[in-house]
Structure 1
């Protein structure tokens, strides 16, 4: 879908910022998402997304400030803290009762941190690519940027699939180290519809809108808003993992939404 849009609109692989977007895909969409998926079976969806989104946003803001000299106002920084605090409150895993192990996987946490750094760096590199294209008077829209970026991610995915045939790292996740393992995961062979839906909703439409936002808005403002996306995990986690959200998760979601509204109003957007 992205290829049809990009080549049909004449953007394709064009633009001086193509190489930067390609490597943004390698780091963010490729290595970053690979690390995220390695973290999921080890520490659960809520803790994984908590680490990824709450670390990626401030990391990207600092890197973009250093690389592009794009700063944030004190008011914007305050709204960002409010958003991330709400997300953290909503997604923080609950302590289980009974005899279940509460030991967290160190490897899972490290994978989550790698995913966060990959997402943050990938966002900043996309911003740099837009800056390079602007200097060359080349117009690239969000879907075109998503296509150029996804090419780098696909290269990493191809290498990972080839490697999995030999080592099968995805099927050997230490499930005994986590208390957040899905209890109602699809049977083997029935997961492909979920994978396809994820690919269309996330890397295609979702990333297209994400790249469109980065074209005009600093990553330090975009990523905190994107960080509210995992709040959708709360009802899904209750359905697929039997993880019923506590009252604080609902309150955290409300706090994050208030932070987004304030950020939009106070930033004049």
Structure 2
């Protein structure tokens, strides 16, 4: 079941990425990160109040839980949005979603002692190169500050990996509801953002039109609230490396959305799609 939740998280993030990218010219990465976090926390808090899914946590898990939000959301998402603004969706997703599984698998082995099976290794080995074939990233030289954007994308991947491994450590220690884990991780992730906004002299309250607020709310519902909830459900049930590898298929899903929007693709990209789905099947069925 963890593999299915990871794929649902990838689908949620892919769908919302286009909305977040649309707001990239209006909101700074810090503003976007703050407000998507606030809106998602409100939604999760309302769900928890209705469902009553809340438990007391031992003191030993608070540090990795808070660090997961601080590293994975505060730093990771800010770097990701910064990369999106500089090198676009395709190049950002190719770099970040290819590197993050490798970082996560390595950290999972070193930190948690989680080793993938032979079939899972084979699935990952098929998915990661397929990302490059499917997305066919454009020349970053035609983007603004390409080297900085590439650095931001790699930094985001490392932060995703650290956040994933830390949350896996928490769920191995305590059987916490996924909604509670998602809310606490988000709260930790956005707590430092007002301070960072003040230091950079950026306004906390952005000037958005009603339509832009609606785009932000809808993108947050799909890409933050649902995505992080599915992610927590996945991390509870599967190894961190497996979850991050399957979440990397958001790049494959972006390819499919581009096709639905009428954009053409090369035969190499279609081959990459087939190879990636083969890799997903090997991981899911192992």
Partner of 2:162: 121
Aligned equivalents of 1:80, 1:30: Cα separation in 2: 27
Residues 84-115 of structure 1 show CA distances to partners (whole Å, capped at 9, x for unaligned) of 1222211231459xxx9478611101110110
Among residues 214, 218, 227, which one is paired with 2:235 in the alignment? 214
Question: What residue ranges of structure 2 are gaps of 5+ in the alignment?
Answer: 1-42
- C-alpha change, 1:162 and 1:250, in structure 2 (3 Å) is farther
CA contact (8 A) 1:143 1:209 kept: no
Counterpart of 1:228? 249
Aligned match of 1:182: none
Q: Which residue of 2 aligns with 1:81?
A: 125
Structure richer in helix, relative to its length: 2
CA separation of 1:197/1:162 partners in 2, compared to 1, >3 Å: closer, same or farther? farther
Q: For the structure 1 residues 195 and 162, does the alpha-carbon distance in structure 2 shift closer, same or farther, using more than 3 Å as the test?
A: farther
SS at match of 2:115: coil
Which structure's CA Rg is the greater one? 1
Larger relative contact order (C-alpha < 8 A, sep ≥ 6)?
2
Q: 2:56 aligns to what SS in structure 1?
A: coil
Equivalent residue number for residue 203 of structure 1: 224
1:157 aligns with 2:201: no
How big is each residue's C-alpha offset from its partner over 1:36-95, in whole Å with a ceiling of 9 and x where there is no partner? 000011111111111111111111111111111111123311210101122221123145
Cα distance, 1:116 vs structure 2: 0.3
Moved beyond 4 Å, runs of 4+: 7-13, 235-240
Aligned-CA RMSD value: 2.9
SS of 1:72's equivalent in the other structure is: coil
1:111 is aligned to 152
Change (3 A) 1:75 1:195: same
Are 2:45 and 2:183, in contact at CA under 8 Å, matched by a contact in 1? Answer: yes
SS state at 2:198 partner: helix
Q: Distance in 1 between matches of 2:215 and 2:266?
A: 27
